[in-house]
A and B are shown apart, each in its own frame.
Chain A
Amino acid sequence: MIALQKRPTPSRTLSLATPLIAVLITMIMGGLLFTVLGKNPFEAIRTIFWDPVFGEFAFYYRPQLLVKAAPLVLIAIGLSLGFKAGIWNIGAEGQYIIGAICGAGVGLAFYPTESRLIFPLMILAGAVGGWAWAMIPAILKTRFGTNEILVSLMLVYVAEQLLASMSLGLLRNPEGMGFPGSRNFSDFPAGSSWINEAAGLHWGMAFAFIAVIFAYILLNRHILGFNIRLTGDSPHAARFAGVNPTRLILFCLGTSGALAGLAGLFEVTGPSGQINIDFASGYGFTAIIVAFLGRLHPVGILLAALLMALTYVGGDLAQGNLGLPSAAIQVFQGMLLFFLLALDLLTNYRVVLKKKGAA
């Protein structure tokens, strides 16, 4: 009989090897899927995984990978802090939307003034917006013990309705011929998050890297990081050690909200360009998956986000070049996640063969 035995410490070798094995298995299974759909599996896999990074037009796609990965990194880093401590914010999508609305709203209030002060103010507004939205589940949890998973999820729907209302109402572009959607930030340099648009670099990437470093130091070198890990591993021990759970909840949810808000702000003022009904494209949810794929480790999250970005960019490429339907790409991404999640087991557990009855 096969049984699982918990490893005393997670295996380092396997924690590095399993993602690669998962990607490999996905390639094989995905290849089968693409064959069934009548496409050349080798060409499809190459188009998705190789061409964006090393192909003919890689010079364009490499920065695009960063464009796609930056919001995922920002959000997932914030989420990972809470997840480590057993605090489940799954409403990052809502915080992302509110951050974008607040930041863009502040910026557009100054339109068309050109001043260097506007963008920092917008960054602040975006972070505060996301932070405030995350404070709702945080305060409800610390005050009343309300489940933060569910409250934060509910608030995503509320934020989506607000987004629709803003795009059709308050923030609608007065020169937009009556169409929904705000002014485009590409027409408003003072409020644009691009550092160098042609090279595909924006401030969100800079902040994403800072967030990775910040999280790494926090978790490994700072007492707060220690408290977070302790609370996640053993809430009772943490309480004995004098960790204040209320402050930890406020810190973790607040930080993840602020980072998600920042991600929304950088996205709306750069790559996306405007507040619109369809502005939210699921980064907040994808980031949850990224956080787990990266094993809640800052560097792991960075790599996981780049991998997810690759499947998006490569997937669109495969659609355009090979005529793969977008549904096939979605299935392929789903498989990748399944294998990554399933193989994660091997890092923390040993698979042993046991005689029946020995348990």
Chain B
Amino acid sequence: MKLTKLLTSATVALGLATTAMADDPTKVGFVYVGPVGDGGWTYEHNKGRLAVEEAFGDKVETTFVESVPEGADAVRVITQMALQGADLIFTTSFGYMDPTIEVAKKFPNVKFEHATGYKQADNVSVYSARFYEGRAIQGHIAGHMTKTNKIGYIASFPIPEVIRGINSAYIHAKKVNPDVEFSIIWAYTWFDPAKEADAAKALIEQGADVILQHTDSTAPQAAAQAAGNVVTFGQASDMGEYAPFPRVSSIIDDWAPYYVARTKAVMDGTWESVSTWDGIGAGMVGIGEISDAVPADVKASALEMVAALADGSYHAFTGPLNKQDGTPWLAEGETAADYGDNGLAGLNFYVEGITAEIPN
């Protein structure tokens, strides 16, 4: 991976240009994996971009390219943004990890932020959200709300992010309702409304009266509404149009505070490469309003848990916890580490009590 002279000189020229003209607006680029109209993942990232524009007005200039395939096109689009003078570039999908690192090497003066990955560099930060904290709240409410003791879970792909969510929801549902059972469907898609609708129906027909989803469309909400007595939670965005019932609460991906803070850091010249994994406390994971369909005492205890997770006095994975096969994972009072063997980042097993198997 050598640098061409041309690229280097362009970079140097741009580097000089950005420092020389300090009055210029700070340019921030966003690379999206889906269309901004997907109503879920990309939609929320774009809301973060709009928040940046609102926060800094004409001191900032944002651009974005949507529906960028992961791979060669991503390299080109990220390079394009860097060439056009972006000071800060957010690449918002896991598949952009290697392209981001590759482009970052050629543009040492441009700052990069890669979402959900694990490869860092001097000018590449990584950031992700502890969605499993939100799942703990969902599990807590779900455990209380279910009458059939059967909770359906629409999962996307068998990756650590999704497995963390299932474990967290299960642990907290089980805590308040020892009889609870989880039915898990792997949809093998992040977004396919028709399939999600079918999955939700299948779960409901088999007796699930709470549906948790790790896919981004509102199709399961609509299926639950049609069924009449099934509880759901919004995913990625609030999905408030289905409140107060079936949607009783939601996990919201709220990237705005992070995007504003990082843009500010570039403006102030204080930006440095960090690895951020924020949860409810930092506002990256938002808990949508718990509706009145939830009994007052459940709502109160759920809000207590939100507060405890936010101030760090409670960790969603606190021992004693065993792995699915019965071997110990966390001892009494021990909390899960982020990295390392059995760490949350690479989590690839279910906790004890879940009867399904992880496909591979």
Chain A interface (Cβ within 8 Å of chain B)? 57, 59-61, 64, 67-68, 164, 168-169, 177-181, 184, 186, 196-199, 267, 270-274, 276-279, 281, 312-313, 316-317, 319-321, 323, 325-327
Contact = CB atoms under 8 A, between A and B. Distances in A.
Interface in B156-176: 157-160, 163
B157 A180 contact: yes
A199 B29 CA distance: 24
Contacts of B80: 57, 60-61, 316-317, 320
Q: Give the most central of B3, B63, B70: most A CB within 10 Å.
A: B70
A198 B71 contact: no
A61 B76 CA distance: 8
B69 A281 contact: yes
A313 B360 contact: no
A177 B4 contact: no
Contacts of B36: 325
A168 B156 CA distance: 12
Contacts of A319: 64-66
B40 to A, nearest CB: 16
B68 interface: yes
Q: Give the most central of B66, B73, B345: most A CB within 10 Å.
A: B73
21 contacts: A60-B10, A60-B83, A168-B157, A169-B360, A177-B118, A178-B159, A180-B157, A196-B2, A198-B4, A199-B4, A271-B72, A271-B75, A272-B71, A276-B70, A277-B157, A278-B69, A316-B76, A316-B80, A325-B35, A326-B35, A326-B65
A327 B166 CA distance: 35
Contact of B71 (A164, A168, A271, A316): A271
Given A273-B72, A320-B64, 12 more contacts: A59-B10, A60-B7, A177-B118, A177-B160, A177-B345, A180-B159, A198-B4, A273-B71, A276-B71, A316-B65, A316-B80, A325-B36
Nearest to A170: B360
Contacts of A164: 188
Contacts of B98: 184, 186, 273-274
Contacts of B2: 196-198
A67 B72 contact: yes
Interface string B278-304: 000000000000000000000000000
A198 B7 contact: yes
A272 B66 CA distance: 18
Contacts of B6: 59-60
A272 B72 contact: yes
Interface string B80-96: 11011000000000110
A269 to B, nearest CB: 11
Contacts, number: 111
A316 B160 contact: no
Contacts of A326: 35, 65-67
Given A60-B7, A186-B102, A198-B4, A321 B84 contact: yes
B76 A320 contact: no
Nearest to A194: B1
Interface size range of chain B in the complex: 35 or more
Contacts of B158: 168
A316 B73 contact: yes
A59 B9 CA distance: 12
Contact of A57 (B67, B71, B83, B157): B83
A36 B347 CA distance: 49
Given A186-B1, A198-B3, A319-B64, A179 B159 contact: yes
Contact of A279 (B71, B76, B77): B71
B79 interface: yes
Contacts of A312: 73
A29 to B, nearest CB: 22
A2 B39 CA distance: 49
B346 interface: yes
A-B pairs, top 4 by smallest CB distance, nearest first, are A271-B72, A272-B71, A198-B4, A319-B65
Contacts of B102: 186
Nearest to A197: B1
Contacts of B188: 164
B345 A316 contact: no
B348 interface: yes
A276 B70 CA distance: 9
A178 B339 CA distance: 13
Nearest to B346: A177
B76 A313 contact: yes
Contacts of B10: 57, 59-60
Nearest to A318: B65
Contacts of A327: 35
A197 to B, nearest CB: 6
Nearest to A323: B63
Interface in B1-48: 1-4, 6-7, 10, 29, 35-36
B67 to A, nearest CB: 5
Nearest to B71: A272
